[in-house]
């Protein structure tokens, strides 16, 4: 790899890992999404311009944060923002540098550990619709592209982009405060915040694009924020369910791919590689949540994940119990994805033909035609039933839609293996 490509790779990594924290700090100070995002983008552009000749700083994220603060000062001045905003930003930028001029910092500017959570509650204000809440937070905080978020919503990319622009305009025009609201007002924004955290985790758990299955930085960030959320509202069972769900899924990360990066399905994973400490914590948390007898979607999903984690072998999995829980989940959250998972659980517990019939019924209206996991699930059941021509057609449809390279390779391997038998 040449030096330019190597430096770009470092900058891309820092952007993925730190952009959420940087932009949250800049928005807190400036009060403007647009100015903050512009300053951050300019700082990363400066890194690509200066690092080739000066070398990568010892702490590249600190360098980008300080440059972004300086760029924001310029942006605030150009926008004619209030003088106190300029003064506050200048003070923080100078504090970040031992020389007092904001250059070559040794440490990051003062870290506000709740900045990202504060921004999340801002984005999830009830004045915004749900998709705007989740999409804006993912775009701003999660370091996700519009393409990645559109995939999570099963929505056309241009439609999502328009909604993000309108959401930022709404926050600006309605003077929505940048703050974690008082406890009495937390509940009305909680659903949106939980959705954001779960989607950030899901994008980390199975990256939308690229050659890597997992983005551990996003998983870790979602878990960190979920712990903070539980601390804010310790008696809210869905917060506990969400945290437990993330911990239980994340516990399997080391077993989900081979050393060469090939996908290993849950059925074939080496369970000795699962993180038992995370599993024990996740199971304890979901039991604590369910004791409140207010089961919601995250608690039910966490209970399902716990059943998988408790099975020492794939053959020991309690599929009837999983199918029962998915049935309950479908009653409170009847989304196509939940119904698809219920059908798979039925296939594993009551028979492949029964599960396939449910999947075919689910796909009859065409709503899942563009969802590759729908076609992948059909392909797997058809393969197990040895209905190979139909399975090949389903694999081809899934391969035409999948965007993650690791998942694509897995589907191709399954297809080839079937052709050999």
What band does 394 get if pLDDT is binned at 50, 70 and 90? very high
Q: Given this model, what pLDDT does residue 119 score? A: 83
Mean pLDDT value across the chain: 84
DSSP letter string over 142-208? S---HHHHHHHHT--HHHHHHHHHHHHHHHHHTT--SSPPPHHHHHHHHHHHHHHHHHHHHHHHS-S
pLDDT, residue 373, reads: 93
User: Within 13 Å of residue 18, how many CA atoms lie on the same side as its CB?
Assistant: 24
Is there a contact between 30 and 76 (Cβ–Cβ < 8 Å)? Answer: yes
Tens of pLDDT, residues 102-153: 444 444 443 434 677 788 788 888 888 877 887 888 788 766 778 877 876 6
**SS3 at position 75:** helix
d(C-alpha 305, C-alpha 337), whole Å: 16
The Cα–Cα gap between 278 and 271 comes to 13
3-state SS, 382-409, equals HHHCCCHHHHHHHHHHHHHHCCEHHHHH
The predicted pLDDT at position 212 comes to 56
pTM of the model: 0.72
Mean pLDDT of 396-406: 92
Report pLDDT digits (tens) over 318-358.
999 999 999 999 999 999 889 999 999 999 999 999 999 99
Report which of residues 323 and 10 the model is more confident about. Answer: 323
Helical residues (DSSP H) of 31-129, grouped into ranges: 33-54, 60-79, 83-95, 115-123
> Tell me, what DSSP letter sits at residue 292?
T
Q: Give the list of residues 6+ apart from residue 75 with CB closer than 8 angstroms, or none.
A: 30, 32, 35, 38, 39
Task: Provide the pLDDT confidence category of residue 207 given band limits of 50, 70 and 90.
Answer: low
Q: What DSSP designation does 102 have?
A: S
What are 31-84's pLDDT values in tens digits?
788 888 889 889 989 998 988 888 889 888 889 989 998 998 887 777 665 545
What tokens appear for 367 in the block? 């709503």
Query: Mean per-residue pLDDT for 385-412?
Result: 94
**3-state SS, residue 370:** coil
Choice among 164-173, 295-304, 355-364, 394-403 with the minimum mean pLDDT:
164-173
- pLDDT tier for residue 98 given thresholds of 50, 70 and 90: very low
Assess whether pLDDT exceeds 80 at residue 224.
Answer: yes
Rounded to an integer, what distance in angstroms lies between the CA atom of residue 305 and that of residue 246?
9
Binning pLDDT at 50, 70 and 90, where does residue 4 land? low
Q: Write out the two tokens for 51.
A: 């690092």
Q: Which two tokens stand for residue 147?
A: 């393409």
Identify the residue with better confidence: 145 or 382.
Answer: 382
């Amino acid at each position: 790899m040449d030096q330019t490509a190597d430096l770009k790779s470092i900058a891309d990594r820092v952007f993925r890992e730190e952009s959420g924290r940087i932009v949250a700090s800049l928005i807190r100070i400036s009060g403007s999404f647009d100015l903050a995002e512009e300053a951050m983008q300019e700082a990363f552009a400066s890194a690509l311009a200066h690092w080739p000749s000066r070398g990568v700083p010892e702490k590249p994220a600190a360098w980008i944060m300080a440059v972004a603060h300086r760029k924001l000062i310029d942006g605030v001045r150009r926008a004619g923002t209030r003088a106190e905003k300029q003064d506050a930003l200048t003070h923080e930028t100078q504090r970040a540098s031992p020389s007092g001029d904001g250059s070559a910092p040794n440490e990051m500017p003062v870290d506000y550990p709740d900045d990202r959570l504060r921004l999340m509650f801002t984005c999830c204000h009830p004045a915004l619709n749900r998709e705007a809440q989740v999409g804006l937070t993912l775009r701003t905080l999660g370091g996700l592209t519009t393409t990645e978020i559109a995939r999570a919503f099963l929505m056309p990319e241009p439609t999502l982009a328009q909604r993000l622009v309108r959401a930022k305009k709404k926050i600006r025009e309605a003077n929505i405060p940048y703050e974690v609201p008082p406890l009495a007002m937390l509940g009305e924004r909680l659903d949106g915040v939980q959705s954001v955290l779960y989607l950030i985790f899901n994008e980390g758990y199975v990256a939308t694009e690229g050659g890597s299955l997992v983005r551990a930085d996003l998983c870790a960030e979602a878990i960190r924020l979920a712990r903070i959320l539980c601390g804010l509202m310790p008696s809210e069972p869905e917060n506990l369910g969400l945290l437990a769900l993330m911990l239980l899924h994340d516990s399997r990360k080391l077993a989900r791919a081979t050393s060469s990066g090939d996908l290993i399905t849950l059925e074939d994973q080496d369970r000795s590689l699962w993180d038992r400490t995370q599993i024990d914590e996740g199971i304890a948390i979901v039991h604590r949540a369910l004791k409140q007898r207010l089961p919601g979607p995250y608690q039910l999903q966490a209970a399902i994940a716990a059943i998988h984690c408790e099975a020492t072998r794939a053959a020991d999995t309690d599929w009837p119990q999983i199918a029962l829980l998915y049935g309950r989940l479908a009653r409170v959250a009847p989304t196509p994805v939940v119904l698809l998972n219920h059908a798979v659980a039925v296939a594993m517990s009551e028979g492949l033909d029964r599960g396939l019939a449910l999947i075919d019924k689910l796909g009859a209206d065409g709503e899942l035609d563009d969802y590759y996991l729908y076609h992948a699930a059909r392909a797997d059941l058809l393969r197990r039933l040895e209905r190979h021509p139909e399975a090949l057609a389903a694999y081809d449809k899934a391969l035409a839609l999948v965007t993650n390279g690791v998942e694509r390779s897995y589907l191709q391997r399954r297809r080839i293996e079937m052709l050999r038998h």
